[in-house]
Amino acid sequence: MASSTVEITPVPLTVEQSEAMAQRQIKKHHVAIVLLHWFNATTWLLELSTGAGLIVSPYYRFAPVWYLQMMEGIFGSRANMLRFHIAVGLSWIAVFLVYAIFGFRNFLRIEVLQHEIGLDMDDFSWLRVRTLRLLGKNQKPLPPQGAYNAGQKLFALAVYATVPAIMLTGLVMTFHWFGAAVVAWAMVLHFFAVGMVVSGLMIHIYMGAVFPEEKPAFYSMITGMVNELYAYRHHFKWWREVRLEEERWKQRLVDEEKKRAGALEKSNDDRPAMPESSNMGKEKL
């Protein structure tokens, strides 16, 4: 099969095609990413709930007093809560450091990031159409998307911009680096950066876990797999990449089979060559 048989733009699927694609699972997430995602989610849950309980000044606090008292009760004292907040935060930094070192080649190289979370023209029109569809003002089809849609990309960009700031300001406060003025600004920046992420998190959690059209994306964060129909409809450009890769893989198998058949023909001239459709495994036996 030549790669040209893979569509360049989405086409209407037949019933049989849709059914077959809905059954076929393709791999979306590396197991390391699945684990990292849920480690990260747990960390955020713990850090947000303790962090909110640590800001008690009437000038800045946003959690009600009963929440502050409840959290203090759970941890025994606010000092213990701060120790816990710091311990979880430091292990969060440590895990992401390991990820950054060992996962750099696969996940963090600039080419990889550009490919996965760089916005293109399709993404900008996706953002417009998606918003209009959510508001029920428009039923136009969404422009084809890569492995991540424009909303996911925007959130990822915000996270990549703020998470290093959250980590750095956390370290400054933990170890009282660079004196009072820097610690004070670190405290403010820590709050602001977290606030920006939480703002995006509202959409991220709703779209990922609740919104019906994206349900397969939620399960893909558990199994690592999505069905092909979902990939075709929601991440067409990524689906095409996967298909092209599959075609190349098949082509390699066909080439190898031909080579083996040729070699066999030479050694057994009297025997006729096997037809091309024959089972490779049997031939090997």
Partner 1 sequence: MPRYAMVIDQERCVGCQSCTVACKSEWDVPNGGARTKVRQTGTAGQFPKLTTSFYVSQCNHCDRPTCVPACPTGATYQEASGIVRVNRDLCIGCGSCVAACPYSARYINASLGKVDKCDFCASRLEKGLQPACVATCPGHAKIFGDLEDRSSDVFRMVYGESARRMESSTVAIGPNVYYAGKSEHAELALASFAPVPPRSIAAATVWSSLLNKVVYLAVGATFLGQAVAFFHQLSNGEKQFEE
Residue choice 75, 192, 218, 219 for contact with partner 1 (CB under 8 A): 192
CA–CA dist 282, 213 (Å, integer): 43
- Segment near partner 1 (CB under 8 A), from 35-43, 108-116, 188-196, 241-249? 188-196
Rank residues 196 and 274 by Cβ distance to partner 1 and give the closer one.
Answer: 196
218 binds partner 1 (CB under 8 A): no
DSSP code string of 105-145 = IIIISHHHHHHHH---HHHHHHHHHHHHHHTTS--PPPPP-
Tokens of 10: 């989405």
199 binds partner 1 (CB under 8 A): yes
132 binds partner 1 (CB under 8 A): no
165 binds partner 1 (CB under 8 A): no
Report CA Rg, the chain.
26
134 binds partner 1 (CB under 8 A): yes
Rank residues 36 and 173 by Cβ distance to partner 1 and give the closer one.
Answer: 173
CA–CA dist 216, 227 (Å, integer): 7
Residue choice 13, 63, 113, 203 for contact with partner 1 (CB under 8 A): 203
* Number of residues near partner 1 (by CB under 8 A): 44
- Segment near partner 1 (CB under 8 A), from 90-98, 182-190, 257-265, 270-278? 182-190
79 binds partner 1 (CB under 8 A): yes
| Residues 36-55, interacting with partner 1 (CB under 8 A) | 54-55
CA–CA dist 196, 188 (Å, integer): 12
CA proximity to 185, closest of 166, 174, 169, 164? 169
Query: Parallel, antiparallel, or unpaired for β 225-227 and 25-27?
Result: antiparallel
Residue choice 11, 15, 121, 180 for contact with partner 1 (CB under 8 A): 180
> How far are the Cα atoms of 102, 154, 283 from residue 99, in angstroms, in the given order?
5, 21, 44
- Give first-to-last CA distance, the chain, whole Å: 26
65 binds partner 1 (CB under 8 A): no
Torsion angle of alpha carbons 81, 87, 91, 92, nearest 10°? 30
Rank residues 1 and 205 by Cβ distance to partner 1 and give the closer one.
Answer: 205
Residue choice 1, 8, 35, 56 for contact with partner 1 (CB under 8 A): 56
Q: DSSP label at 225? A: E
115 binds partner 1 (CB under 8 A): no
138 binds partner 1 (CB under 8 A): no
CB neighbour class for 51 (10 Å; exposed up to 12, middle 13-18, buried from 19)? buried
E strand spans, the chain:
25-27, 225-227
209 binds partner 1 (CB under 8 A): no
Using an 8 Å Cβ cutoff, are 241 and 30 in contact? no
What sign does the CA torsion over 96, 101, 106, 109 have?
positive
62 binds partner 1 (CB under 8 A): yes
- Segment near partner 1 (CB under 8 A), from 34-42, 92-100, 201-209, 267-275? 201-209
Residues lying near partner 1 in the complex (CB under 8 A) are found at: 54-60, 62, 78-79, 82-83, 134, 136, 173-177, 179-181, 183-185, 187-188, 191-192, 195-196, 198-200, 202-203, 205-207, 210-213, 233
